[in-house]
Amino acid sequence: MKILVFSDSHQDVKAVSRLLSRVDEYDKVVFCGDGIEHVWEYRDLYLKKFEMVRGNCDDYLAPEEITFFAGGIKFFVAHGHRYGVRSRLDMLSSTALVNDCKVALYGHSHVADATYTPEGVLCINPGHLCPPAESATFCELTVTEGNISYNFRKLSDI
């Protein structure tokens, strides 16, 4: 199973359109908040593929956090602003564990990162799609038989 994870587009319609022009390549698409209004139309077209949460800059009526299963793994998704992710991942990791999730996907900090916490939760931030364009990133996850691998990519490379 191939999963596209992105976050923090902050109204960059061109970046969202560029990335989501490839939506058919993925089994699932996860948006971690901030810029949800430009993702919503794609969600309506590909409803069964999309999982999304709102960020601290979003007004849309999307949930602040969700869980879902993909490839035998349970995921927790939140934007991250309520979990202090700019300085630590312990609150995010603890909430993922309480929800029986092995992976936490988040945004907010605009920094692409994958960290295994001491509790064993894989926390992944795909980075950001908003300017500056040369540093815009997203993450591709591959889930096979309960195992997960990840690859950060630059938007400029597609």
CB-CB neighbours of 145 under 10 Å: 6
pLDDT band of 146, cuts 50, 70, 90: confident
Question: Which pLDDT does position 41 carry in this prediction?
Answer: 84
Q: Tell me the pLDDT band of 89, cut-offs 50, 70 and 90.
A: very high
Phi then psi for 63, rounded to 5 degrees?
-70, 155
Report the predicted TM-score, pTM, of the whole model to 2 decimal places. 0.96
d(CA 113, CA 80): 13
Domains of the chain with bracketed CATH = 2-157 (3.60.21.10)
Kindly report the CA angle at 86 between 83 and 120, in degrees rounded to 5? 65
DSSP conformation class of 79: -
List the one residue out of 117, 49, 53 whose CA is nearest residue 85.
117
Torsion of CA 35, 94, 139, 18, to 10 degrees: -10
Residue 46's pLDDT is: 87
Query: Residue 64 — φ and ψ, nearest 5°?
Result: -80, -25
Residue environment code for 39-75, b if the CB has 16+ CB neighbours within 10 A, otherwise e: beebbeeeeebbbbbbbeebeeebeebbeeebbebeb
Please report, as a single letter, which amino acid is at residue 6.
F
Question: pLDDT tens digits for 4-15?
Answer: 999 999 989 999
